[in-house]
A and B are shown apart, each in its own frame.
Chain A
């Protein structure tokens, strides 16, 4: 389903969906919202993108990490090398992509790993309580207050986990179904 209207509109809508989903995620503790619904809203962006451009293009755009690098010189210190690599990958991406000596690797983020990360975060948010002798999922809150987001605490970790889990599952379903 490749329509020019949707394809143009989606470029503006994707950031909107994602920002709104993050907002929903963070207001979820005391108001309507939370990880599940936030994740669903966030995944709409990817679903629309897949619908207009196909799954391969979505993977290339959002779920692929291009890393650039060159082999370490024999007399170069390890930490210097690491910092160079980080600099290459963070600041000079465009320029380096065309550089002849630089090889690039692609790291594909698969939806299974997003699901696993989400589950891990959600489970671990409960374990903090256990480790200090309290029941599972006992909540700890910090004292300070961040403007829009509110007080951070361990429950936000749980919601973040659910958010990632939902996005991962929806992405997996979308990719499998659109490939068929």
Chain B
């Protein structure tokens, strides 16, 4: 039962993808299989979370090969929480794409690829082996490439090429880092590596170098300060269902890997990593939010905000106290949900009005009041206004920063929050509040026809908003769990003992 629980988040999307391949000709069957797989995945990941909460870290050795030799899968609270938020996102995106994506794209293998992407997310979160982590990131990269390029319009191909080129670079750095680690320490199992780097025989300079390779690789994947330019250039090109999923989850999986490695393995030289992370976090936040302020497209503003929010997650790693890491974890979960929801809302608006440009939009508040309320909740969550979810993440991070007297980064993060409110107000003013600009009557007719079948588009947005409200208004259990997860992360002995069975 123990082995089955850890495998289910990987097996369910895999079997879902296989089944949808068998129904290659029938989009309806693929939709059904996809939804069923997502619902089962959500249930399975919640079961996994409760099991870990009760019994501690769970491990399984694939193929019964014992720990340092075979591939280990490890599920602790942190990974289970990311898997859950990933599956909520996946479910919402699936519901959205039934109506929100054009038929042509749906027939060319959209559903199987999305399920394989989900498989990659679960795999990257659950693996306990460095090379296996690399393989899962390859799965993610290939699926994202296919999804961004699916349909083959010109801006999509342009975005896909930018995306793939820079991510190949990241992959090379990752592989180089793995090579250095294997060459110096002779193992790839994360738990055994964690033991080996703490022995006096380890070579600190080489391990540091490997750590920097990993920082660059996952920094590109997570869009950290000097390496984020590919993200706003590619995320706004595909249709909204695809960019919502990719924007919501993929960068956060990079962040997950960064937090996992820099709390478990590369902790030996904190005089180097902590100032470095602090600087990177500050610049990522500031530049992301400044970039967003200069944009005039719904999706591009949101894309730049992804970068800015990544800075907060990195800030938790830079402060490196239990509370800060817990803040980071809470913030990742909050951000996955909120960001996906904002993208989906922009999709609903665009489905009705046919554009993402702020200049051409307007008057949505009059026509779709419910959607405006949903946007209001998500935008205020993103900005961190008290009762909503973003506040708790930022509060934990700021408190952790004040506790160890790093005032500068906390002040920067609070200033960035203000700028975030500015961006969200801009969207609110331009899209929802101002009068709709005059447009030609032909377009009006086209949008009138679309109106009757976009009711179903609200469903995923409402579901996501319920989850966002839940983790905001009833934050206590989530915050407590994030703190437990942070303790598990910082107390590496737990992880090592669980994997190596000492």
Complex: A134 Cα to B64 Cα, angstroms: 8
Interchain CB contact under 8 A, B14 and A136: no
Chain A residues lying within 8 Å of B73, measured Cβ to Cβ, are: 136
Interchain CB contact under 8 A, B11 and A123: yes
Interface size on B, residues (CB 8 A): 18
Interchain CB contact under 8 A, A120 and B18: yes
Say yes or no: is B4 at the interface (Cβ < 8 Å to chain A): yes
Complex: A138 Cα to B66 Cα, angstroms: 12
Chain A residues lying within 8 Å of B11, measured Cβ to Cβ, are: 123, 127, 130, 136
Contact status of A136 and B18, CB under 8 A, knowing A112-B24, A130-B3, A130-B7: no
Interchain CB contact under 8 A, A123 and B18: yes
| A117-141 vs B, Cβ < 8 Å mask (1 yes, 0 no) | 0011001001101100111111100
Minimal Cβ-Cβ distance residue in A for B109: A112
Complex: A120 Cα to B62 Cα, angstroms: 18
Chain B residues lying within 8 Å of A120, measured Cβ to Cβ, are: 18, 22
Chain A residues lying within 8 Å of B61, measured Cβ to Cβ, are: 135
Interchain CB contact under 8 A, A136 and B63: yes
Say yes or no: is B60 at the interface (Cβ < 8 Å to chain A): yes
Complex: A135 Cα to B61 Cα, angstroms: 6
Complex: A120 Cα to B16 Cα, angstroms: 10
Complex: A43 Cα to B241 Cα, angstroms: 37
Interchain CB contact under 8 A, A136 and B60: yes
Interchain CB contact under 8 A, A138 and B64: yes
Complex: A138 Cα to B70 Cα, angstroms: 12
| B100-120 vs A, Cβ < 8 Å mask (1 yes, 0 no) | 000000000000000000000
Complex: A128 Cα to B398 Cα, angstroms: 50
Interchain CB contact under 8 A, A138 and B22: no
Contact status of A135 and B63, CB under 8 A, knowing A123-B14, A123-B15: yes
Say yes or no: is A88 at the interface (Cβ < 8 Å to chain B): no
Interface size class, chain A: 10 to 19
Say yes or no: is B1 at the interface (Cβ < 8 Å to chain A): yes
Contact status of A133 and B18, CB under 8 A, knowing A112-B24, A113-B24, A138-B63: no
Interchain CB contact under 8 A, B60 and A133: no
Q: In the assembled complex, how far is the CB of residue B24 from the closest CB belonging to chain A, in whole angstroms?
A: 5
| A9-42 vs B, Cβ < 8 Å mask (1 yes, 0 no) | 0000000000000000000000000000000000
Contact of B62 among A112, A115, A127, A137 (CB under 8 A): A137
Q: In the assembled complex, how far is the CB of residue A52 from the closest CB belonging to chain B, in whole angstroms?
A: 29
Interchain CB contact under 8 A, A136 and B7: yes
Contact status of A137 and B63, CB under 8 A, knowing A116-B22, A127-B11: yes
Interchain CB contact under 8 A, B18 and A119: yes
Say yes or no: is A60 at the interface (Cβ < 8 Å to chain B): no
Complex: A119 Cα to B62 Cα, angstroms: 18
Contact status of A135 and B18, CB under 8 A, knowing A110-B24, A127-B11: no
B interface residues with partner A (beta carbon < 8 Å):
1, 3-4, 7, 11, 14-15, 17-18, 21-22, 24, 60-64, 73
Subset of 11 A-B contacts with CB under 8 Å: A112-B21, A113-B22, A126-B62, A129-B64, A133-B1, A134-B3, A135-B3, A135-B62, A136-B60, A137-B62, A137-B64
A interface residues with partner B (beta carbon < 8 Å):
110, 112-113, 115-116, 119-120, 123, 126-127, 129-130, 133-139
Given contact pairs A110-B24, A113-B21, enumerate 7 new A-B contacts (beta carbons under 8 Å): A119-B18, A119-B21, A127-B11, A129-B64, A136-B11, A136-B63, A139-B63
Which 4 interchain pairs have the tightest Cβ spacing?
A: A116-B21, A137-B63, A112-B24, A138-B64
